[in-house]
Amino acid sequence: MKPISVGLLGIGTVGGGTFNVLARNEAEITRRAGRPIRITKVADKNLELARQVTAGRAQVTDDAFSVVSDPEIDIVIELIGGYGIARELVLKAIANGKHVVTANKALLAVHGNEIFAAASKQGVMVAFEAAVAGGIPIIKALREGLTANRIQWIAGIINGTTNFILSEMRDKGLPFDVVLKETQRLGYAEADPTFDIEGVDAAHKITILSALAFGIPMQFDKAHVEGISKLDADDIKYAEQLGYRIKLLGITRRRAEGVELRVHPTLIPARRLIANVEGAMNAVLVQGDAVGATLYYGKGAGAEPTASAVIADLVDVTRMHTADPENRVPHLAFQPDAMENTPILPLSEVETSYYLRLRVEDKPGVLADITRILADQQISIDAMIQREPGEGESQTDIIMLTHVTRERNVDAAIVKIEALPVVSKKVIRLRMEELG
């Protein structure tokens, strides 16, 4: 049977991994796909690198638009990244009747609604397993494996850089800035790590998972995004003492009033499996009404783990290449005409538990004043520790864990607590999830 002809846009780390794994495992992949899959044309600005990787096994060009317009190309793999030229190329490929495989989470989180609508109109597929959690098949799990379930919530460690940093901060007791520099030296963090450490990358990914779980459009602009750059090593230490670990989580939860969509540092009970995911690994926990909790764990980045997901998409598209578009798995798991415009809840309406750290004067009556304020806002305390002041110190830390309450109640309480003359610093507030 005639091979499927693939055009590859971008032959950097993931593109090179994809080319090499596809060539190395060609016989096995052909047995699974039912016909050979070959990358026949590669576009990259670095022609020397492209020629080095392809070693004469594919045509090389620096004109990506020539690839998406080539009538011989059946599938386009987009691995350029970003929102700009990648969007133009993907939409042009779709307009030319080509299927698209992409690892571009930023593109889909921001422009996915437009891209999927264009693909549906043209009767082509857009596959994106590699866009979330690298080699972990979480997209396929949500689109196919869990279709019998009403998904209740998803919580994921979906950025390996931040998880590595948090693991190092916990293990070595070092401050964020010191660990970040070491992480960059080791190559786990980019020279400009903003998207990772400020939670933007994780927010792109949880936006995609939320759309798949609940059958809603991509709504990245409504996500709450908070990173780890302001996280204090003291809070990691106190969390440990209370039986918790801090992870940067992407969380999306279905509620009667709407959907929660948020990324922030989160305290998780240390006994949970996901709390013990260390280093640069990823993990996604999905709660379904029928199956209960399922955990997906593995490498969330890297050349060959991500290539594994890209090639899985190539095989899926090849299998369904000639199928009636009506009989394919919908892009976002739900039929396009069955998508719901469920609102994304503002952060003030989020319901969870909280970790509060207060720096206060060590004198009688302080704790009573604070607990009175919390009670007035209908916030009850689950646990508390008070650090003994050091010799000669007149101030101490009080750490409180609350029961579940609304964010707006905590906001109001913090304003009143910080106004107390015995409170000397801003209250540190972190959210908690039991994930039980």
**How many Å apart are CA 372 and CA 386, to the nearest integer?**
17
Q: Would you state the torsion angle of the CA atoms of residues 30, 34, 39, 41, taken in this order, to the nearest 10 degrees?
A: 160
Taking each continuous run of H as one helix and of E as one strand, the counts in the chain are 15, 17
DSSP string, 222-265: GSEE--STT--HHHHHHHHHTTEEEEEEEEEEEETTEEEEEEEE
pLDDT tens digits along 119-148: 999 999 999 999 999 999 999 999 999 999
Model pLDDT, residue 394:
85
Model pLDDT, residue 283:
98
User: Can you tell me whether residue 393 is helix, strand or coil?
Assistant: coil
Which run of H or of E encompasses 217? none
Q: How far is CA 418 from the centre of its chain?
A: 33
The span from the first CA to the last CA of the chain, in angstroms, equals 50
The partner residues of 431 in beta bridges, in order of sequence, read: 266, 354
For 351-432, CATH number out of 1.10.1740.10, 3.40.640.10, 3.30.70.260, 3.20.20.190 equals 3.30.70.260
Cα angle for residues 396, 402, 403 (degrees, 5° grid): 165
Model pLDDT, residue 249:
98
Q: Token digits for 157?
A: 């460690």
Q: Token digits for 331?
A: 């892009």
Sequence letter at residue 217: P
Q: Residue 176's pLDDT band (boundaries 50, 70, 90)?
A: very high
Given this chain, do its domains 4-135+303-338 and 351-432 carry the same CATH topology? no
Nearest to 409 by CA among 347, 328, 326, 340: 347
For 138-299, CATH number out of 3.40.50.300, 3.30.360.10, 3.30.1320.10, 3.30.420.40 equals 3.30.360.10
pTM of the model: 0.96
Mean predicted lDDT score pLDDT of the chain: 96
Share of the chain above pLDDT 70, in %: 100
pLDDT tens digits along 243-290: 999 999 999 999 999 999 999 999 999 999 999 999 999 999 999 999
Q: Token digits for 256?
A: 């009667």
Q: Which residues are catalytic?
A: 205
DSSP string, 187-202: TSS-SS-HHHHTTHHH
Q: Residue 324's pLDDT band (boundaries 50, 70, 90)?
A: confident
Q: What is the mean pLDDT of residues 388-396?
A: 82
Q: Token digits for 40?
A: 């026949």
In Å, what is the CA distance from 287 to each residue of 112, 161, 253? 24, 25, 10
| Plot region of 128 (φ>0 → left; ψ -120 to 50 → alpha; else → beta) | alpha
Q: Token digits for 54?
A: 């392809």
**How many Å apart are CA 269 and CA 272, to the nearest integer?**
6
DSSP conformational letter for 70: -
Listed in sequence order, the residues at least 6 apart from 227 whose beta carbon sits closer than 8 Å to its beta carbon are 162, 196, 197, 198, 199, 200, 248, 263, 265
Superfamily the domain 4-135+303-338 falls into: NAD(P)-binding Rossmann-like Domain (3.40.50.720)
**Domain extents for the chain?**
4-135+303-338, 138-299, 351-432
pLDDT tens digits along 207-236: 999 999 999 999 999 999 999 999 999 999
pLDDT tens digits along 99-118: 999 999 999 999 999 999 99
For the cut 90, the answer to whether the pLDDT of residue 327 exceeds it is no
Nearest to 296 by CA among 133, 123, 54, 120: 133
Model pLDDT, residue 102:
98
**How many Å apart are CA 392 and CA 222, to the nearest integer?**
48
Model pLDDT, residue 380:
97
Question: Given the structure tokens 């799990």, which residue do they identify?
Answer: 141
Which run of H or of E encompasses 428? strand 428-432
Which run of H or of E encompasses 297? strand 292-299
